[in-house]
Structure formats: structure tokens, C-alpha cells
Amino acid sequence: SLKPVRPLIFCDPENGWNEIITQDQIDCEGELAQRWEMVLLKEIFWGELMLDDKVIEPYFDIGYTYNEGSWGVDPIIRGGEDGGAYTWEAPIKKYSDIDKLHFPIINVDYKATQKTLEVANDTFGDLLRVRKIGFWWWSLGSTYLLALLRGIETMMIDMYDNPKLIHRLMKIISEGTLEKLNFLEENGLLSIKIDRYVGSGGFGYTKELPAKGFNDSKVRTIDMWGFCESQETVG
């Protein structure tokens, strides 16, 4: 996919959007309507004022309505209001606590998903193509969850003092992540998303996906971009 073209520029305000598009600019009243309005206002801002190389696509994407269970234990979060700093109490305090872990279960509400899709089509259908897209993760990296379960400082010390615990936790996390991917693939819940944001800094435009043997009724992981990172250990 690498072609000799001019360098492309992508500007993303990320956590600064609340300063660019403030609540008083939102005309809609319902929670879902306000969220959709914000999505559209961002695209308008990009197309009319940002003037970078981000492609403004004629789509409006709807995600699945679903609930994803826990890993069996949960950290206690303190702080974090309005996107601010936070700390947490990690639930894995000793080796035996690992036995409390289990793989999360995903329950998809297909009826609610279809209803949302119909509302979006009724609202935007004559202007934009409404697509049902699976938004199941930002990253498939494992160390963020590891840090939540064990604590960031403790995790760092474990690499020296308790590597056995780290290896066992990472094995469970990686196997659980693969289980999640298998579930999503087997149930036809994945999306190619080559025209969407991928990872941390770019878009997935390519002519090399989907892979050979693709069937649009059931996207496979090999038809998609992959993305992992470990900001907790390299940042």
C-alpha cells in the first residue's frame, strides 16, 4: 500500500473536542441524538475548518448495543471525573487472587441494535449511508488490563520480583482476548473498517484488505487491521 505521494497530515484534537464543540452548541435534547450530533459536528469541523487530509466519508456508522462482562474482579477507581486524573485499587493482591479470574462474556442486544439502525436510517438515510459497524476495542494490547488488575507500580516490580505471577496473568489475558476475537468472528460481528481510524494515529485505507477468500457475510480477523501497544511499559 505504500505509494510515493506527498506526506499526508491528520490533525486530531482528541481530548480537546470539548473545548472546540461546547455543550451550548448542541441543539438536540436526547442523549443519543446529542451523541450523533457531536459526531456530525466533528466531521463538519474537520471538513470546513481543520482542513487536514482526513477523508470525510458519506457514511454514518452505528455500533452494536452490547454488554461485556468483567474478568471476575474489578479495580476500584478513584477520581477521573470529566476526563481528569485518577487512581485505582488493583484487585489482584496476591497470587491466589488469580483464581478469581474468568473470561468476559459478551451479550449482544440484536433487537436494540436493529432499532438504533432503523432510527439512524430514518434520520440520515436520504443524506448518508448508514452502516452497522462493530466497535469492540481500541487496542488489543494486554498491559493496560494487566496494570488495572495488578497496579502499575506493582506490575513493574513484579517483572523483577514475581515474574511467575506476571506470566500467569498475561497468559490468562492473552487467551481471553483470543477467545473474544473468536467469538466475534464466529458470530459475524467483525467489520473490515479499512476506511476508519486504526490504533493511535492513522487510518486503515489499503488495497491489501480484505484477505483472499473473503466473504462479506462473515468478516475474519485476517480481513482486518490489527493493532497492539503497551503504553504502560514504554511511556
What pLDDT does residue 199 have?
Answer: 81
pLDDT at 132: 95
Cα separation, 49 vs 152, whole angstroms: 40
Q: Using an 8 Å Cβ cutoff, are 41 and 50 in contact? A: no
Domain residue limits, the chain: 71-110+137-234
Residue 1 pLDDT: 62
Taking 50 as the pLDDT cut, the residues of the chain under it are none
Report yes or no on whether pTM surpasses 0.95: no
Task: Supply 60's cell numbers.
Answer: 454514518
Check residue 193 and give its pLDDT: 80
**DSSP string over 205-216:** --SS-SPTT--T
**Per-residue cell: 69:** 462482562
Nearest to 233 by CA among 102, 162, 145, 138: 145
Q: Average pLDDT of the chain?
A: 94
Q: From the centroid of its chain, how far is CA 116?
A: 19
pLDDT of 11-47, one tens digit each? 999 889 989 999 999 999 999 999 999 999 999 999 9
Percent of the chain with pLDDT strictly greater than 70:
99
Residue that is written with C-alpha cell 478469581 in the block: 100
φ, ψ dihedrals at 177, nearest 5°? -65, -40
Strand partners of residue 88? 77
Measured CA to CA, the distance from residue 141 to residue 174 in angstroms comes to: 9
Q: How far apart are the first and last CA of the chain?
A: 29
